[in-house]
Structures are given as C-alpha cells and as structure tokens.
Amino acid sequence: MLGEEHALALAARRQERLRAVADKARVLGSPDVIFIPTDISKVEDCERFINEAVDHFGKLDHLVNNAGIVQVDMFEDCKPISDSATLTNTNFWGSVYASHFAIPHLRKSKGRIVGISSIAGWCSVPRMSFYSASKAAITSFYETLRAEFGSDIRITIVTPGVVESEMSQGDFASKAQLDFFLAESTERCAKAIVDSACRGDRYLVEPSWARITFLIKVLCPEVMEWWLHRVLVAKRSKKSN
C-alpha cells in the first residue's frame, strides 16, 4: 500500500508504536522513513514536526492528519467539563496547527492535505457530543481552506464510518453493535484513503454505503435522531438497569 516511492515522516505521541509502524513501512518498501515523537495538541510540537520533516526530505508533498481520540459519555455526565478540551485540542486543533505550518511547503509542491473527519460529524452520535462536534469542525475547516487555496493545495476530506481500532473498543460500542454497524478493518480503510488521495478525490466516504446516512440526515432528520437514540442510548440504558 505504501509503495516503493513513498518516503514517510510519522508523528505521534507513543514512540514504540511509531517505531513499529516505521519498521513495517520499510519492510513494505518505503525508501526512507523517519518518526518524530509529537503531541499534536501542542502548537510547538506541530511546528517542530513539520520543520524536521522538511529539513530531512527537502520538501513536503502530502500531509495526512489522522490523529484522534474519542470520549464516550452522555454530555451531562462529562465532569469536569474542562477535561473535554483534551479531545478538541487533539481532534481539531492538532489538524489546524499541522496544516498551518505545512501550508508554505505544500504550496511549493502543489501538494495535498488529507483530513480525517468522521461520519459522526454529520450523524451527531449520542454519547459522543464532543467527538461529533470536533469532526464536524474538521469538515467545515477543510472545506473553507479548499475555497481559500483554489488549485494551489488540494484537499481530500475523508469521512470513515465505524472502523475496528483502539477507538472503537471499550465503552464505544459492544461487539454486537460493531457488527450491526458493519465495522470496517483498519487495513481496508487505510487502503481506501491512500487510493482516494492518489486519485485526487475531494471527498471519500468509506465504506461507500455510509453515504446513505447523509441522505437520511437531510431528508428525514427526525428518523435519524430517533434511530440513534434507540440504538445507542435507550438500549444501553435498559441493559445497565
């Protein structure tokens, strides 16, 4: 999937995970891989990451903003409420910071930004109010940048459905609910994202059947809200009782 011609700069907080991903990329044929421990919720870390990547490779062709965390709680149970800033700082501001420092280099290379939003950004998923809001903000942010950049920098906005990952484990949903939502593997989703960016797509909804949720949201929002409440709130409340 990475291809022999793709050199990579990887950024994340967990250094051991970064090293493992870098090793796998080399095995798959990437000619040059560096990893830079980074907390993308911090503006200075994002600036350092972009600068180190450009210093190493001499240019920047693509920026993929994939970092994200999830908080699963009814809004009224989010206490202290200020703790939710950690999520918005990572999911939204991390992408903003990285994009800001990457823009001069991407403009030179006529490059591309790949922004990872979520189906939760338009479905407004119960018990994930801050996550849904952060992903809606990501979509709006990159659509605005696309209007500002014109053809200077291309942007692919990715809207995944439920993906089997660390984020979809634990309190997010039961195994039965993940099966019900047809959770997709990380490998298949990642391949779809790479292919979409290479094609130059403006948007990617993955899996493609998830597009129907947008139509339901627009045409009959009451049905969408009723269904989400029934599946993710009412049934869970009965089970807890």
Question: In this structure, what token pair is assigned to residue 89?
Answer: 């700082």
pTM for this prediction: 0.85
Sequence-distant (≥ 6) Cβ neighbours of residue 206 within 8 angstroms:
158, 159, 160, 161, 184, 189, 192, 193, 196
Q: Specify the pLDDT at position 48.
A: 97
Q: CB of 167 within 8 A of CB of 70?
A: yes
**Residue 98 CB coordination number (10 Å):** 24
Bigger pLDDT: 133 vs 123: 133
175-228 per-position pLDDT tens digit:
445 444 567 888 899 999 999 999 999 999 998 888 888 888 899 989 888 888
**Of 99, 77, 192, the residue nearest 153 (C-alpha):** 99
**Of 170, 208, 191, the residue nearest 70 (C-alpha):** 170
Cα–Cα–Cα angle for 108, 110, 111, rounded to 5 degrees: 105
15-67 per-position pLDDT tens digit:
888 889 888 888 888 889 999 999 999 999 999 999 999 999 999 999 999 98
Domains of the chain, each with CATH number or no CATH: 60-240 (3.40.50.720)
Cα distance between the two ends of the chain: 46
Q: Specify the pLDDT at position 235.
A: 60
Q: Specify the pLDDT at position 213.
A: 87
Phi, psi (deg, nearest 5) at residue 205: -110, 120
Of residues 97, 131, 142, 203, which has the active-site annotation?
131
| Percent residues over pLDDT 90 in the chain | 52
Least confident of 7-21, 56-70, 136-150: 7-21
**Per-residue pLDDT at 241 exceeds 60:** no
**Per-residue pLDDT at 143 exceeds 60:** yes
Bigger pLDDT: 148 vs 181: 148
pLDDT tier, 239 (very low <50, low <70, confident <90, very high otherwise): low
Q: Specify the pLDDT at position 62.
A: 96
Q: Specify the pLDDT at position 15.
A: 85
Respond yes or no: is residue 142 known to be catalytic.
Answer: no
Bigger pLDDT: 230 vs 153: 153
Cα–Cα–Cα angle for 130, 131, 135, rounded to 5 degrees: 115
102-118 per-position pLDDT tens digit:
999 999 999 999 999 99
Q: Specify the pLDDT at position 236.
A: 58
**Of 50, 44, 28, the residue nearest 101 (C-alpha):** 50
**Per-residue pLDDT at 126 exceeds 80:** yes
- Helix, strand, coil fractions of the chain, as percent rounded to 5: 60, 15, 25
**Per-residue pLDDT at 238 exceeds 50:** yes
